[in-house]
């Protein structure tokens, strides 16, 4: 099986990113669920724009896309002199690194690509370009494998009949396939458990309403959509049994940055004595970030809060805050589900042990 076909068949029904005819194709997540359209990227700059504009989103998918962005640029420059090639690649790394600040998978993937360039020197540009494309394929295939392993470990935490609340989209659409939080649910369902999902709509960008609801429906997994403000009520009524979310960056002490609203859910889960699980591969854990306080939080434009899809419901010019992520302290995390296993009550020591 060629790398290309391996990439295209590892997904069940949802194809997030694929390599076709020397270009990176991304399902346009701004258009889902109304339209399933692909955006093609041929350069690092186009890939960085696609990440910034949320064509592709979700920490692991951002990392895979960025890796392909470097490979695209290397292929484009392979006829250049070694000096021009190196300068062009440096610019590509910078442009991609500036696309979004919070998901650490972006920087993790770029570091892996940099290591390939370093190890390959002084090879010819065309050889380096070929090695970079191989590495991008590898990062993508490893992500699917990590998600499947995580799914296997996490499924053990899900009892038959559970009603699971999730937030944002931590599914196949946020990864190279299978998903992190939704991967755990997929694996539990594959193991014969009846699981129903309650998806928070995830204001302001509506990843839960647009993406999670659509992705689960594609797989025939029962899903009920709620507005974000309804989760406390449902917990109080004992209509939620557990929470599973993904992460954009887990700090060395176990603090978790994830989509804005996650912290609120974690506090509610503790109040109602419900387990709060975070599913995240090691590529999302950043041992160099000491604690959640040091995680850069992306602040996005006001238009996302004032309205959606061209409709404005707030008074024009009203002041807006739009932090895209929040930090859940480690003490509120019941367990971290990784490809290496389940880490109950994560702390600095247990996180460090994952990397030994
Ligand atoms: O702004 P987004 O849509 O990129 O945010 C995505 C999330 O917060 C996800 O929960 C996170 O990246 C985990 S994805 C497996």
pLDDT, one tens digit per residue, over 296-324 is 999 999 999 999 988 999 999 999 999 99
Helices (H), the chain: 3-9, 44-52, 59-76, 82-97, 104-120, 125-155, 181-190, 207, 213-218, 231-236, 262-271, 303-306, 348-354
User: What number does the ligand 1 atom closest to the CA of 325 have?
Assistant: 8
Going by CA atoms, what residue is nearest to atom 15 of ligand 1?
Answer: 170
What pLDDT digit, counting tens, does each position of 326-335 carry?
Answer: 999 999 999 9
Shortest CA distance to 109 belongs to which of 152, 150, 51? 51
Range in 1-10, 150-159, 250-259 with the lowest mean pLDDT: 1-10
- Mean pLDDT within 248-262: 98
Instruction: Tell whether ligand 1 has an atom less than 6 A from the beta carbon of residue 259.
Output: yes
Atom of ligand 1 nearest to the CA of 62: 4
Instruction: Report which ligand 1 atom has the smallest distance to the Cα of 103.
Output: 12
Over range 75-85, report the average pLDDT. 96
- The dihedral region occupied by 18, where left means phi > 0, alpha psi between -120 and 50, and beta the remainder, is beta
What is the average per-residue pLDDT within 166-180? 98
Share of the chain above pLDDT 70, in %: 96
User: How many other C-beta atoms lie within 10 A of the C-beta of residue 297?
Assistant: 16
CB within 8 A of 16, min separation 6: which ones? 26, 27, 56, 58, 61, 172, 173, 174, 175, 176, 177
CA of 100 to the centre of ligand 1 (A): 12
Q: How far is CA 292 from the centre of its chain?
A: 18
Mean per-residue pLDDT, 271-287: 98
Residue 324 CA, closest ligand 1 atom number: 1
Q: From atom 6 of ligand 1, which residue's Cα is the shortest distance away? A: 58
266 CB under 6 A from ligand 1?
no
pLDDT in tens, 125-162: 999 999 999 999 999 999 999 999 999 999 999 999 99
Among residues 205, 206, 200, 160, the alpha carbon closest in space to that of 181 is found at: 200
Burial class of residue 23 in the structure, from the number of CB atoms within 10 Å of its CB (0-12 exposed, 13-18 middle, 19+ buried): middle
* pTM summary value: 0.95
- The strand pairing partners of 344, in sequence order, are 335
Beta strands 256-259 and 38-41: pairing type?
unpaired
Q: Is the CB of 246 under 6 A from ligand 1?
A: yes
Distance separating alpha carbons of residues 174 and 127, to the nearest angstrom: 31
To test ligand 1's pocket by mutation, which of 207, 228, 250, 266 has the most ligand atoms within 8 angstroms of CB? 207
Q: Are 194 and 228 in contact (CB under 8 A)?
A: no
Residue 6 has pLDDT above 80, yes or no: no
Q: Quick count: other Cβ atoms within 10 Å of Cβ 296?
A: 13
d(CA 293, CA 251): 9
All residues at 6 or more sequence positions from 173 whose CB lies less than 8 Å from its CB, including other chains: 14, 16, 27, 29, 32, 58, 61, 179, 211, 215
**Any idea how long the chain is?**
356
248 noted as active-site residue:
yes
Please identify which of the residues 143, 248, 286, 326 carries the catalytic annotation.
248
Residue 204, ligand 1, Cβ within 6 A: no
- Phi/psi-derived region of residue 347, left when phi > 0, alpha when psi is between -120 and 50, beta in every other case: beta
Whole-number Å distance between alpha carbons of 65 and 44? 10
Residues 6+ apart with CB under 8 A from 7: 17, 18, 19, 137, 140, 141, 176
Parallel, antiparallel, or unpaired: how do β-strands 38-41 and 223-226 relate?
A: unpaired
- Whether 258 lines ligand 1, by a CB cut-off of 6 Å, is yes
């Amino acid at each position: 099986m060629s790398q290309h076909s391996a990439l295209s068949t590892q997904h069940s029904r949802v194809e997030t990113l694929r390599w076709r005819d020397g270009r990176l194709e991304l399902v346009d997540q701004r258009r889902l669920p109304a339209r399933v359209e692909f955006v093609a990227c041929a350069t690092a700059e186009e890939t960085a724009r696609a990440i910034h504009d949320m064509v592709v989103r979700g920490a692991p998918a951002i990392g895979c896309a960025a890796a392909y962005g470097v490979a695209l640029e290397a292929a484009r420059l392979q006829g250049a002199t070694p000096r021009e090639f190196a300068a062009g690649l440096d610019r590509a790394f910078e442009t991609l690194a500036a696309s979004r600040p919070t998901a650490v998978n972006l920087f993790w993937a770029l570091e892996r690509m940099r290591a390939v360039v370093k190890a390959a020197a002084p090879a010819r540009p065309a050889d380096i370009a070929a090695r970079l494309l191989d590495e991008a394929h590898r990062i993508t295939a490893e992500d699917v494998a990590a998600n499947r392993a995580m799914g296997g470990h996490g499924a053990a935490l899900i009892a038959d009949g559970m009603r699971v609340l999730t937030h944002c989209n931590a599914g196949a659409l946020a990864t190279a396939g299978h998903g992190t939080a939704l991967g755990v649910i997929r694996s539990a369902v594959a193991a014969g458990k009846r699981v129903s999902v309650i998806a928070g709509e995830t204001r302001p960008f509506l990843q839960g309403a647009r993406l999670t609801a659509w992705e689960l429906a594609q797989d025939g997994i029962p899903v009920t959509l709620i507005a974000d403000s309804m989760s406390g009520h449902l917990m109080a009524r004992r209509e939620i049994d557990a929470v599973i979310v993904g992460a954009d960056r887990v700090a060395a002490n176990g603090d978790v940055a994830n989509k804005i609203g996650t912290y609120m859910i974690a506090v509610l889960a503790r109040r109602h004595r419900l387990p709060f699980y975070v599913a995240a591969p090691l590529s999302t854990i950043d041992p160099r970030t000491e604690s959640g306080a040091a995680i850069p939080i992306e602040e996005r434009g006001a238009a996302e809060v004032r309205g959606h899809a061209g409709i404005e419901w707030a008074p024009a010019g009203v002041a807006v805050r739009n932090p895209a992520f929040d930090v859940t302290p480690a003490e509120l995390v019941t367990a971290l589900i990784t490809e290496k296993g389940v880490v109950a009550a994560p702390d600095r020591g247990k996180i460090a042990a994952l990397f030994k």
